[in-house]
């Protein structure tokens, strides 16, 4: 069973404000687009580590609250120091605590960082056109059409 943690996370937005020449955190636009499945780096003052976003509180999705959005995520890397966190533990933090945001390619056969997005549904991300074509053929065509027809 995983343990859930809420910790004193480092405010990445404040770090950017204090040290703009050496530190850059995700923009308001990037944080607004944050969705489940994203890989987010957070830190607790001693160490930064990657988490996979599991949920975002829907009550926090208005534009004014973007930095305060409550995020629940799963620890996704081994930690160097003994913090009591383990791989798979659940942590809760605010969007303002995100150092980096990364998405993995939606093609199940690929684990590269995704830099492209499906132009139809704008929800699924890929690393390259080859992976997008393979995923479209294998499954996304059905999911994408459902998303398009549901009025989302």
The residue among 81, 111, 85, 103 whose CA lies nearest residue 26 is 103
User: Of 12-16, 70-74, 107-111, where does mean pLDDT reach its minimum?
Assistant: 107-111
> Cα-flanking dihedrals φ and ψ of residue 23, to 5°?
-140, 130
Could you give the CA distance from residue 53 to residue 64 in angstroms, rounded to a whole number?
21
Query: Tokens 């933090």 correspond to what residue?
Result: 93
- In this predicted structure, what is the pLDDT of residue 151? 44
Q: Are strands 90-94 and 4-6 parallel, antiparallel or unpaired?
A: parallel
Per residue in 29-61, pLDDT tens?
888 888 888 999 998 887 888 999 999 887 655
* Statement: residue 63 has pLDDT above 50: yes
Mean pLDDT of the chain: 83
Contacts of 84 (CB under 8 A, 6+ apart): 3, 5
């Amino acid at each position: 069973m995983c343990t859930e943690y809420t910790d004193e996370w480092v405010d990445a937005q404040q770090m950017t404000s204090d040290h703009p020449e050496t530190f850059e955190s995700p923009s308001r636009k990037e944080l607004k687009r944050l969705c489940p499945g994203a890989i987010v780096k957070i830190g607790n003052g001693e160490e930064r580590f990657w988490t996979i976003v599991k949920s975002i509180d829907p009550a926090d999705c208005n534009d004014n609250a973007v930095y305060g959005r409550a995020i629940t995520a799963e620890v996704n890397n081994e930690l160097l120091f003994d913090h009591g966190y383990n791989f798979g533990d659940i942590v809760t933090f605010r969007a303002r605590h995100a150092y980096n945001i990364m998405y993995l390619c939606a093609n199940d056969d690929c684990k590269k960082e995704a830099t492209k997005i499906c132009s139809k549904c704008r929800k699924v991300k890929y690393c390259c056109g080859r992976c997008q074509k393979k995923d479209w053929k294998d499954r996304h065509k059905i999911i994408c059409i459902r998303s398009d027809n549901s009025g989302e």
